[in-house]
Amino acid sequence: MAGNRRYIAVLAVLVGAASLGAAILGPPSYCPTVEQVQQALDDLRDGRYAQAEREALAITANTEEPNPRAWAIVAAARQRNRRYALAASAYRQFLAEADCPDSREFAIEQIRSCEAQAHPRPVPVAAPSKRLSGRQLAELAEVDERTCAESSEHFIVRANNARLARLVAVEAEVALDRICRVILAGQEYPHSVAINVWPDARSFHANAREAAEWAGGGFTYSCENGLITRQIDLTQRDANGRFAAVMLDRVLPHEMCHLVLKELFGDAACPLFLNEGLAMMAEFEPENSRIRLAGRTVAGKASRKLKDLFVARRYSIDEPLVFYAESYSFMEFLHGRLSPAQFRDFLLNVQAGCTVTDALQRSLYVPADDSFLADLAGAWEDHAIEQTQFLEALASRDPKR
Amino acid sequence: MVRAALSGCLVAILATAAAADKLVLTDGRVFTGTVSVESDTVQIAVPYGTLRFDKTMVERIELMDTPEQEFRKKLADTDLDDPNALFGLAQWAGQKKLTRQATDLYNLTLKLAPGHAGAHKGLGHILIGKTWQPFEAALAQARGKLEAGSYEVLLEDIIPALKQAAPTRADSLEVTDLLGHAQLRSRQFIRAEATFTELAELARKSEPPAVDLAVRAGAIAEILHANSDGMYVLKETYPPSSVLLGATDSQVMPGPASLARPLALEAALRDEAKTEIEAGRELLEEAQKLSATEPDLGNIKYALADQAFQRADAMIPHIARAHRVDIARRKIAGLRKDADADAKDFDDQMAKLGVKDMPPSAYSTMILRMIHHLDSTREDLRRIVELAQVYPKDLVLELKWAELDLTRIENMRKILVTELDGRK
């Protein structure tokens, strides 16, 4: 009897060891909640969010075989039902159980997105000149005998007005941050730039020799004897002797974007539409006239327009206003539709020498498709017309727009 | 009509009929073939040649019917108006490896009895619904059933029949692939995982190996293994271009989705492909850095990058094509550099010719050296053509330039060889 008991004990230990070994080494051969998970996924797909949430919660709470992955269904159901705070908390549960880096990354991204949706959107910051009073604007138009220098993390600003030098240094940092972080999706800029604010157009053109005749600002990026010069030249006053607010609101961020892009592209050629389109996007306020013009010109002929846009050179542009409007419209469309990572990848692909369509398809990780350009043009056309119609509708309510 | 067809069949059979005689030697060896006797020798034609033996070495000759002869006799005894009799003979022919005769008889049986199930099966036909179909048509219809969501009939009736009737190994792999997808779409995830694992193994071992299918099936098996509840969490909208180009009716939003949905599976495969592409891109960058200083190591990195891109292409067709063109372009650039260096050496040698007097032997040596430079350039150009021909549309300039240069080099080489031969 005692011997039998010993055999039973040994057998029990062996069986236990074998099942433990199978549990550790073998693949999961059966998932008890498959049917429930699939049912919840069906409901999620078909828009029955409350039901999907209920079912998925039941799976997570299943005492016998809980499936913590079902938190992803709970979270998605809440998110699609616009219950963002609760969705974020469900994504946190999913994050705690996620076993692969991709899932964790996805959960973190969704938590951020839900939290951003849960809180009211911050009011967009007005253009710098809109935050200034009439008296301040008048002060900024003053020109001293002495040149003042003001420095910030990235800029050394010289102007014949101490207040203006300070303001330009602050706004230049704001613009650079927006360009690098938001527009170029994480571009670094560990350089120092000299900004010269010349009192008027005459002194500006006398010093910024590369600037076009009509321009009120320009940038310089040159390398001589191993010394790189990064410089932005601006004009303080307009033809009437008033402070040129456009310099702060548009010209400064516009030229700065060109400078940053020059750094990003190096010796590689940056397509003109991309360079100008992004520079216009960097300006503090969108110019509605560009959006309207683009909508009108693109309607019905986006495909041809897009082909022309991609190969446009500065000397080959017949209608500069139309070109600028279309460049802005297309880049704003791309930037809005691509994720930051995709947009960054797109820029790097263009920088590496890919054509625009190839760069886009590579950044999307899709197989090359001959109809891609036509589809892209169609989508851009729809977007441009939609934007124009929206502005027209607003203008009919508020003629000032 | 049937008789006419049958007589045609008989003529063909008679033409191929051959005896299967048995030659038994005194030392115990036995040969099977066609025996003929010539004065003192006995000849036997065997599949690998003709053997001759002295009569004294032969113990006995057994004249036997070949399967064809036997078939002819059986056919003579068969009632040609009886479909079952024809079918019976067809089966017998099939067992005796008389495939063509069996096929002919199955077809004749069907002419007499169009619904004869045995004859259809003998021909590899598959019953779908109420109609018998050849394998290819049945496979195409099975794919249609998969898209239509008729998983039950597919899994229970059609796929087992297809599997049994698959005429080639490649067809058998296709049926297994279909089985895996049918199981997956009917939410039998564990079974689907096992099927795709088996398919990957079979594809790898097939002759020649079905590499792309093996990679794709292996990737699906891994995806199913990692998501045994059949849920996949999409990190972005699929298809990925739908956000840019406008939403379509068939798209999957980011978040959890069932792997039973074909688009969700595609999204999962595309994520795997993306990982491969990212790895390939890193290798490509390393290769580019190394190619100037350590070309051999650079080439190894290029090869590894190409492998990663191939795997990506196997998962989602052509997804990494542009990157593979990049590799070819970079390799061509390296070869061009070598070819240009050789061309420059050739020009230097050429410049020396005729400038100073040299003995005939030195002149010949110089010509030989020039031919050597041309040969080296020619090798590089041939390699460029080889690389560019894979992507003729993308690398049209590289291809045309290399072909043009090759023609020029061949002409120059001819002149030099003629000059050298003249000297000799």
pLDDT at A13 over 70: no
pLDDT at position B423 is 64
Peptide bond just before B208 cis, omega within 30 deg? yes
d(Cα A235, Cα A251) in Å, to the nearest integer? 9
Bridge-based pairing state of the strands B58-62 and B21-25? antiparallel
Per-residue pLDDT at A260: 95
Determine which of A27-41, A354-368, B114-128 has the lowest per-residue pLDDT on average: A27-41
Nearest to A37 among B231, B243, B319 (CB): B231
Minimum distance, in Å, between the CA of residue A203 and any CA atom of chain B:
45
**B225–A362 C-beta distance less than 8 A:** no
Residue B367: pLDDT band with limits 50, 70, 90: confident
Q: Which residue matches tokens 């080489």?
A: B413
N-term to C-term CA, chain A: 99
pLDDT digits (tens, 9 = 90+) for B148-174: 999 999 999 899 999 988 989 999 999
Q: Please tell me if residue B310 touches chain A, with a CB cutoff of 8 Å.
A: no
- The tokens describing B229, both together, are 């509840």
Q: Which amino acid is at A175?
A: A
Gap between the Cα atoms of B396 and B328, Å rounded: 12
Looking at the complex, report in whole angstroms how far the Cα of residue B371 sits from the nearest Cα belonging to chain A.
37
DSSP B121-157: HHTT-EEETTEEE-HHHHHHHHHHHHHHT-HHHIIII
Residue B245's identity, in one-letter code, is: L
Phi, psi of A218 (to 5 degrees): -165, 165
Cross-chain CB nearest to A365 (options B255, B261, B270):
B270
Q: Please state the rounded mean pLDDT for residues B342-346.
A: 86
Q: Examine the pLDDT at A98 and tell me if it is beyond 90.
A: no
> Which of residues 77 through 96 in chain B touch A, CB cutoff 8 A?
none
Looking at residue B411, its pLDDT comes to 92
Determine whether the interchain pair A33/B229 forms a contact, defined as Cβ–Cβ distance below 8 Å.
yes
Query: Using the beta-carbon criterion (under 8 Å), do A44 and B255 form an inter-chain contact?
Result: yes
Of B226, B253, B321, the CB nearest to A367: B321
pLDDT at B264 over 90: yes
In the DSSP assignment, the letter for residue A249 is: I
- Give percent of chain A above pLDDT 90: 62
pLDDT mean over B43-71: 86
Among the partner-chain residues B226, B231, B245, the one whose CB lies closest to the CB of A41 is B231
pLDDT at B21 over 90: no
Residue A21 burial (CB < 10 Å; 0-12/13-18/19+)?
A: exposed
Q: Is B322 on the interface with A (CB under 8 A)?
A: yes
Give the 3-state secondary structure percentages of chain B, helix then strand then coil, rounded to 5. 70, 10, 20
Q: For residue B385, what are the CA distances in angstroms to A59, A205, A291, B393?
A: 60, 54, 49, 13
List, in order, residues 6 or more apart from A332 with CB less than 8 Å away: A277, A281, A286
Which helix (H) or strand (E) segment holds residue A2: the answer is helix A2-25
CA distance B136 to B162: 10
Does the pLDDT of residue A95 top 80, yes or no?
Answer: yes
ipTM above 0.90, yes or no: no
* pLDDT value at A6 more than 70: no
Could you check whether the bond before residue B239 is cis, i.e. omega within 30 degrees of 0?
yes
Inter-chain contact A339–B236, Cβ cutoff 8 Å?
yes
Per-residue pLDDT, A22: 38
Q: What is the mean pLDDT of chain B?
A: 89
pLDDT at A16 over 70: no
At residue B69, does pLDDT exceed 90?
A: no
Please report which helix (H) or strand (E) contains residue A76, including its range: helix A71-80
**B273 reaches A (C-beta below 8 A):** yes
Chain B residues in contact with A336 (beta carbon < 8 A): none
Chains A, B: CB contacts within 8 A come to 113
pLDDT category of residue A182 using cuts at 50, 70 and 90: confident
Chain A, nearest residue to B239 by Cα: A366
- Within B316-359, residue ranges assigned H as helices are 321-352
Measured CA to CA in angstroms, residue A305 lies from A271, A316, A317, A327, B186 at distances of 15, 14, 12, 10, 47
Say yes or no for a CB contact (<8 Å) between B236 and A100: no
> Dihedral of the CA atoms A305, A306, A311, A315 (nearest 10)?
40
pLDDT tens digits, B205-238: 998 999 999 999 999 999 999 999 999 999 999 9
User: Is it the case that residue A63 has pLDDT exceeding 80?
Assistant: no
pLDDT score recorded for residue B63:
80
pLDDT of residue A197 exceeding 80:
yes
pLDDT above 80 (res B16): no
Burial A100-134 (b: 16+ CB within 10 A, else e): eeebeebbeebbebbeebeeeeeeeeebbbeebee
Give residue B17's pLDDT band: very low, low, confident or very high (50, 70, 90).
Answer: very low
- Partner-chain residue, chosen from B233, B235, B244, that has the shortest CB–CB distance to A364: B244
Scanning every residue of chain B, which has its alpha carbon at the shortest distance from the alpha carbon of A359?
B322
Each residue's pLDDT tens digit, A312-329: 888 888 888 999 999 999
Residue among B148, B166, B269, B262 at smallest CA distance from B213: B269
- The average confidence (pLDDT) of chain A is 87
Q: What is the pLDDT of residue A21?
A: 40
- pLDDT for B19 equals 57
Note every long-range contact of A58-63, with CB atoms under 8 Å and residues 24 or more positions apart, other chains counting.
Answer: A59/A33, A60/A93, A62/A33
From A391's Cα to the closest Cα of chain B, the distance in A is 21
Q: Which amino acid is at A13?
A: V
> Pick from A29, A338, A367: which is nearest to B317 by CB?
A367
pLDDT band at A28 (very low <50, low <70, confident <90, very high): very low
Residue A31: the pLDDT is: 61
The pLDDT-based confidence of A400 (bands split at 50, 70, 90) is low
